[in-house]
Amino acid sequence: MSDVTDPRRRVPRTDALLADPRLAEAQRVLGRELVKSVIAAAQQAARAGEIAPERVADHAVATLPRTASGLRPVLNATGVVVHTNLGRAPLSPAALDAVVAAGGATDVEFDLATGRRARRGRSALAALARAVPAAGGVHVVNNNAAALLLTALALAPGQEIVISRGEMVEIGDGFRIPDLLASAGARLREVGTTNRTALADYTGAIGPDTGFVLKVHPSNFHVSGFTSAVAVRELAGLGVPLVVDIGSGLLAPHPLLPDEPDATSALRDGADLVTASGDKLLGGPQAGLLVGDAALVERLRRHPAARALRVDKLTLAALEATLVGPPPPVARALRTDVAALRARAQRLAAGLPDAEMVDCVAAVGGGGAPDVALPSAGLSLPERYAAALRAGDPPVVGRVEAGRCLLDLRTVAPDDDELLATAVRACSSRACSS
């Protein structure tokens, strides 16, 4: 028989804990099942002797998640402006407000004046059209890969897509452009070599089976040396549609990224259709942007697969707010002056144990401008801080460089400096300082 003094017998019952006013309110916000799982974890901690039975309710309250989602907000101190593993572009306050406003019933596909059905997302599409005035038509799908897939389905079913071997890129997590296009039933006609492709390679490949010529910006790598590629303006006028995948989502030229292609320039140089991402350099939500010739865009929009690839109302709301609202965080991070970053780093380092101000180099990230180095500044800490900061609340994700934990301020908003400092202080007072 077990000892009646066993403290595990004093662990509160689940029903009693659910009746705690704090946990009862949490059920209203987070849901009963989620709260019960938190309670169960607290009870198990008490049974394991990690906390006193009398602390179970307090422990459960302290470990409740902020939302009913498993996604946790983090501070991106990696110095990678568009970090794919951290959700790519952080949304602007205007975009977040728009998402909340669109969360309930909304007129996404309804004309309030006539009481009839309207074109889905018409105000977001109008904003995109204004942002790319060189486009005759615009459409939005759920990501850039979907934009390419829809293009292949609509413009080259059972036909050839002419593409340079130097642009047969892998876009991440093992997904490759050639496989994506082949899945649409198109055949790839590869031209040129890995490092050199000429206009004659394209013209020699075009024939009655050509659906379109595809030019892909190799946005996640850079090849130098004995290389050559064919510019968009040279490929225009070959007698078949010219589709340009710019990838990174610049809608117009960017002074800090002169070598990064943009939609406006590509269209003016003769592209018939341009595809791009919404959650990279544009700084908006995940989306695939299609801009270009009105007739081609309409063909894509009316293709049966367009229904399967369409975006939801929250994406449309965030995209429109990104296009018409104030500059999003990605734009601000790119243009921040390094002197301002150094001043912030010096202020933070002065009040933090083990911290030193250092100059460093940030990156654009997200498969964009791979050869662009962004001068930056940040905090250098002992390497042991890296794991401890990731385990904090909120988690802080930096990078380990030369045996030190580096927190790059180019990707930390100035308003988050105190939050970052608090996280570092919490680490220095825990095991990370031992």
Are residues 366 and 264 located together in one domain of the fold? no
Question: Is 2 among the domain residues?
Answer: no
Q: 284: pLDDT confidence band, cut at 50, 70 and 90? A: very high
Query: Which of 305, 326, 347 is the endpoint of a domain?
Result: 326
pLDDT at 261: 94
Same-domain check for residues 300 and 245: yes
Assign residue 277 the CATH number of its domain: 3.40.640.10
Furthest C-alpha separation in the chain? 89
- Res 4: pLDDT: 57
Same domain as 219, residue 120: yes
Q: Do residue 203 and residue 245 come from a single domain? A: yes
- Minimum mean pLDDT range among 8-12, 248-252, 413-417: 8-12
pLDDT tens digits for range 352-399: 989 999 999 999 998 778 889 999 999 999 999 999 999 999 999 999
Q: Residue 427: how many CB atoms within 10 A of its CB?
A: 26
Residues 357 and 428 in one domain: yes
Which residue spans within 4-117 are E strands per DSSP? 75-76, 80-82, 110-111, 116-117
Compare 166 and 37 and report the one with higher pLDDT.
37
Report the CATH number that the domain containing residue 380 is assigned in CATH: 3.90.1150.180
Please give the Cα distance from 318 to 279 (Å, whole number). 10
326, 358, 389 - which closes a domain: 326
Q: What is the pLDDT of residue 125?
A: 98
Contact (Cβ atoms closer than 8 angstroms) between residue 200 and residue 230: no
Please tell me the distance from the alpha carbon of residue 316 to that of residue 273, in angstroms, as a whole number.
21
Helix (H/G/I), strand (E/B), else coil: 164: strand
CA–CA distance, 370 with 224 (Å, rounded to integer): 12
Residue 70 resides in a domain: no
Q: How far is residue 232's CA from residue 370's CA, in Å, rounded to a whole number?
A: 20
Q: Is residue 298 in some structural domain? A: yes
- The Cα 10–Cα 29 span in angstroms is 28
Specify if 153 maps to a domain.
yes
- For residue 406, what are the β-bridge partners? 380, 399
Domain boundary among 282, 303, 326: 326
Percentage helix, strand, coil for the chain under 3-state DSSP, each rounded to 5: 40, 20, 40
> Do 147 and 340 meet the contact criterion of CB atoms below 8 Å apart?
no
Tell whether 401 is covered by a domain: yes
Average pLDDT of the residues in 150-170: 94
Asked whether residue 321 falls in the same domain as residue 224, the answer is: yes
Same domain for 134 and 246, yes or no, is yes
Mean pLDDT (the chain) is: 93
> Is residue 416 classed as helix, strand or coil in its secondary structure?
helix
Reduced to 3 states, what is the DSSP secondary structure of residue 137?
strand
Same domain? 243 vs 379? no
Residue 135 included in any domain: yes
pLDDT, tens digit (0-9, with 9 covering 90-100), for 316-343: 999 999 999 999 999 999 999 999 999 9
What pLDDT band is residue 111 in, cutting at 50, 70 and 90? very high
pLDDT for residue 190 is more than 50: yes
Total number of domains in the chain: 3
1 pLDDT tier (thresholds 50, 70, 90)? very low
Q: Which helix (H) or strand (E) holds 133?
A: none
Does the pLDDT of residue 228 top 60, yes or no? yes
Structure tokens at 365: 């990230």
Task: Work out whether strand 170-172 and strand 175-176 pair parallel, antiparallel, or are unpaired.
Answer: antiparallel
Going by C-alpha positions, the residue among 295, 297, 321 that lies closest to residue 127 is 321
* Residue 44 falls inside a structural domain: yes
Clarify whether residues 102 and 38 are in a common domain: no
**Hey, what are 108's tokens?**
């996404």
pLDDT at residue 220 greater than cutoff 70: no
Q: Is pLDDT of 207 > 90?
A: yes
137 and 23: one domain? no
pLDDT, tens digit, 9 for 90 and up, residues 126-140: 999 999 999 999 999
Both 157 and 270 in one domain: the answer is: yes
For the segment 246-251, the average pLDDT, to the nearest whole number, is: 92
Q: In whole angstroms, what is the distance from residue 233 CA to residue 272 CA?
A: 11
In this predicted structure, the answer to whether residue 2 has a pLDDT above a threshold of 80 is: no
Q: What percent of the chain has pLDDT over 90?
A: 86
In a domain, 143, yes or no: yes
- The verdict on 115 and 47 lying in the same domain is no
pLDDT, one tens digit per residue, over 151-160 is: 999 999 999 9
Q: Could you tell me the residue range of the domain that residue 392 belongs to? A: 75-86+331-433
Over residues 410-419, the mean pLDDT reads: 97
* pLDDT score at 219: 65
Provide the pLDDT for residue 431: 46
Q: pLDDT band for position 433 (50/70/90)?
A: very low
pTM: 0.92
